[in-house]
């Protein structure tokens, strides 16, 4: 159940960040509301996940996957395509999350 909460935290954070881009520096009401709701939900679900997942591990997964998903959304929705060094950095983030989940003894399954 804790990974479900972590997944919901990641999705909520991605929604909030996408809405932040669309809010026009908080000049557009609807996206601004989604920013606040998205981040509030993200921190709520992250707090639930932290009851079973170590804070460093949860934060690494939350932040890492959030970065990758936001980059993909930015490339598709906003035409903000990352260059080769950025893509290599994203690959390292994905590999880091994989290593944590597969090889670390701190992760509970």
pLDDT tens column, 2-45: 999 999 999 999 999 999 999 999 999 999 999 999 999 999 99
pTM score: 0.89
Q: Note whether 38 and 15 are within 8 A (CB).
A: yes
Give 108's pLDDT tier (boundaries 50, 70, 90). low
CA distance linking residue 84 with residue 82, whole number of Å: 7
Say if residue 81's pLDDT is above 60. Answer: yes
Phi/psi at 108 (5° precision): -95, 135
Those residues with Cβ within 8 angstroms of residue 32's Cβ, 6 or more apart along the chain or in another chain:
19, 23, 26
Half-sphere exposure of 19 (CA within 13 A, CB side): 19
């Amino acid at each position: 159940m804790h990974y479900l909460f972590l997944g919901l935290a990641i999705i909520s954070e991605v929604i909030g960040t996408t809405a932040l881009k669309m809010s026009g520096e908080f000049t557009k009401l609807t996206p601004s509301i989604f920013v606040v709701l998205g981040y509030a939900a993200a921190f709520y679900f992250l707090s639930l996940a932290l009851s079973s997942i170590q804070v460093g591990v949860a934060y690494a997964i939350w932040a890492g996957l959030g970065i990758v998903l936001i980059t993909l959304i930015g490339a598709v929705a906003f035409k903000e395509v990352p260059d080769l060094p950025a893509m290599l950095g994203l690959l390292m983030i994905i590999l880091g999350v994989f290593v944590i989940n597969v090889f670390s003894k701190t992760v509970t399954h």
